[in-house]
Structure 1
Amino acid sequence: MKPFRVVGVIGKRREPDLDLLRDLCAALKALGCEVLVERNPALQGRLEGPLADRQTLAKRCDLVIVVGGDGTLLDAGRALAPALVPLLGVNQGRLGFMVDVAPETMHEQLAAIVGGQCEPEDRLLLSSVVRRGDRVEGETHLAVNDVVVRNHATIRMIEFETWLEDEFISNHRADGVIVSSPTGSTAYALSGGGPLLHPGAQAIALVPICPHTLSDRPIVVGSDRCIRIVIGEDVERVRATATFDGQTSATLAAGDVVEVRRAPFPLRLIHPAGYSYFRILRDKLRWGSGPAAPRGRA
């Protein structure tokens, strides 16, 4: 890859790590990069250098570095993916499936990455709309991880139908359903019993949430066709919602149709050289490791 010359920096909206951000900006400037930091009330007057909104970052930056957890990267990814700006994650969170640069190794990895020695990866992105009758209700919603249709603040199940374009799949009674990208298969969908999907797979998983019928199991479909979730008539009693990456939401009414399809552009990520998805799974999910030895034993 070509070297990155203009680099954007995005920190957490709340409780950003100022020392880590200052260290990152100084390291980038020492490597000859022009640095633009996202305008953030939590950083105002506390960080030197030019501040910019996300529209400016999308137009000007060759690379954007996100300092935070996976949630911070999800939020930035939805905003910057349409411009195909590659994102690199520095982990200030806890789990960190997507933010795969550790602060303690940041300096040694930055020089190689800024110089173009890195591994780019395009991830499938979800695009969703809510149809109410003959019109689209609200905006188009992007999701890196998942679109979730569920009941809201109640223990009642909802009824809904699933379709693959015009092909009927099934009727469901459940707490809801998760429509997951390969990236999201290690998130909420995994907790719901869904399969792990390799990030290079052009596939989408439909994972029922606590279904009434135990044979109602997750299913994987190709990403080239639209998934349609039709809300049943009983929804008036349970307040259904659709959430997108768990960060934005839309209220649903009886008869609404949630349409989910592959977005026309991917989420572009940058990984350090030597990145391995399966190593991430082994580290984060503790594959192949035994239980910790009890205290007092070797």
Structure 2
Amino acid sequence: MKVAIYGQIQNDLNTHTFHSLVSILKSYDVTVLVEQNFYNLMSADEPFETYKELDSSYSLLISIGGDGTILRAVTLIRNSGIPIVGINTGRLGFLATISLDQFETSIEQLLNGNYQLSKRRLLSVSTSIPNKDIEHTNFALNEITVSRKNTTSMITVETHLNSEYLTSYWADGLILSTPTGSTGYSLSCGGPVITPESKNFVLTPIAPHNLNARPLVINDDTIVKLKVTGREKEYLISLDSRIVTLPNVCVVTVKKAEFYINLVELEDKSFLKTIRKKLLWGEDQRN
């Protein structure tokens, strides 16, 4: 079994978790490789094999960090199909579902094959004006967002669905979210929670200046085109946590990607259990 380890930040908690993880993996005779930059941060006393890119020869990727670390790890996995699971050393841990208090038990479950895979749809982006940053990594697991730049004024986001005009949102921006991302930025802007297996995306305006602009759930086969206008000549587009500046004349086209990301779901870590625990779903102190 060949396992990749990935992380972004060096601190005492991540360092301790890293060494504990490696110890468990080696006790199961697992071949361990550490992402090159993370290995340099860890300054490990013992040598490890490292990697810069991943391929289908890996059985699993384990990230150490929060949900942002998982989103960054997805850019390494791409369309390889490698399952990914996260050890949560961050805050919410909605995607990174292995908690530190159940760390050893969860890793043993993984290595014994006591899990299932949750196939998560991604979004892919193309632009009418070529952009090398987007061309290199043109997909997102959580959401695609267009937003204002260098201004407090709102922008107008002209939106078409399958070439048919929907509306022009007058807002701070617009989020196009996957079911996976529906519990993230979209939720904080009033969007609905969508279960992972749903074949939908959701359009959620950011602070719209009209009362009848509400989140809209659309079929995931829909091709969305966005054109931004505003007082500034540029706007921002973010693919999960990766931000790129585009000129207003640049039209963005978003559709579902041609591949999935395989998120590991342990037996006691289902989506419904996670929203009850992390979002306190339906909790009422009166009952």
User: Could you state the TM-score of these two structures normalised by the residue count of structure 2?
Assistant: 0.92
In structure 2, what is the equivalent of residue 271 of structure 1? 265
- Mapped to 2, the partners of 1:44 and 1:187 lie a distance apart of 29
Is structure 2 residue 234 aligned with structure 1 residue 239?
Answer: yes
CA shift, 1:38, in A, is: 1.1
Q: Secondary structure at the match of 1:184?
A: helix
Q: 2:243 aligns with which of 249, 269, 276?
A: 249
Q: Secondary structure at the match of 2:79?
A: helix
- Mapped to 2, the partners of 1:54 and 1:182 lie a distance apart of 29
CA shift, 1:240, in A, is: 1.1
Is structure 2 residue 74 aligned with structure 1 residue 77?
Answer: yes
Letter in 1 for 2:95: M
- Mapped to 2, the partners of 1:284 and 1:25 lie a distance apart of 28
- Mapped to 2, the partners of 1:71 and 1:288 lie a distance apart of 26
CA distances 1:260-286 after superposition (whole Å, capped 9, x unpaired): 111110111112123321111111111
CA shift, 1:112, in A, is: 2.3
The 1:288/1:205 distance shift into structure 2, 3 A limit, reads closer
Is structure 2 residue 119 aligned with structure 1 residue 125?
Answer: no
CA shift, 1:44, in A, is: 5.3
- Mapped to 2, the partners of 1:128 and 1:14 lie a distance apart of 32
Letter in 1 for 2:252: V
In structure 2, what is the equivalent of residue 7 of structure 1? 3
Q: 2:253 aligns with which of 256, 259, 263?
A: 259
8 Å CA contact retained: 1:64, 1:86 = yes
8 Å CA contact retained: 1:164, 1:225 = yes
- Mapped to 2, the partners of 1:150 and 1:160 lie a distance apart of 9
CA shift, 1:124, in A, is: 0.7
In structure 2, what is the equivalent of residue 115 of structure 1? 112
1:85-100 equivalences under 5 Å are 85-100=82-97
- Mapped to 2, the partners of 1:244 and 1:176 lie a distance apart of 14
**Which structure 1 segments of 5+ residues have no match?**
293-298
Is structure 2 residue 25 aligned with structure 1 residue 28?
Answer: yes
In structure 2, what is the equivalent of residue 189 of structure 1? 186
Q: Secondary structure at the match of 2:152?
A: coil
8 Å CA contact retained: 1:38, 1:53 = yes
8 Å CA contact retained: 1:81, 1:268 = no
In structure 2, what is the equivalent of residue 296 of structure 1? none
In structure 2, what is the equivalent of residue 295 of structure 1? none
Q: RMSD value over aligned CA atoms? A: 1.8
Q: Secondary structure at the match of 1:109?
A: helix
CA shift, 1:43, in A, is: 3.0
The 1:70/1:207 distance shift into structure 2, 3 A limit, reads same
CA shift, 1:53, in A, is: 2.5
CA shift, 1:252, in A, is: 2.1
The 1:149/1:186 distance shift into structure 2, 3 A limit, reads same
Q: 2:280 aligns with which of 280, 286, 289?
A: 286
CA distances 1:127-183 after superposition (whole Å, capped 9, x unpaired): 112213xxx333332111111101024210011211112111112211110011111
Out of 37-46 and 267-276, give the one that drifted further: 37-46
CA shift, 1:12, in A, is: 2.5
8 Å CA contact retained: 2:5, 2:63 = yes
CA shift, 1:51, in A, is: 3.4
Is structure 2 residue 154 aligned with structure 1 residue 157?
Answer: yes
CA shift, 1:239, in A, is: 3.2
Is structure 2 residue 218 aligned with structure 1 residue 221?
Answer: yes
The alignment covers a number of residue pairs equal to: 281
Q: Secondary structure at the match of 2:139?
A: strand
The 1:275/1:159 distance shift into structure 2, 3 A limit, reads same
User: Could you state the TM-score of these two structures normalised by the residue count of structure 1?
Assistant: 0.88
In structure 1, what is the equivalent of residue 52 of structure 2? 54
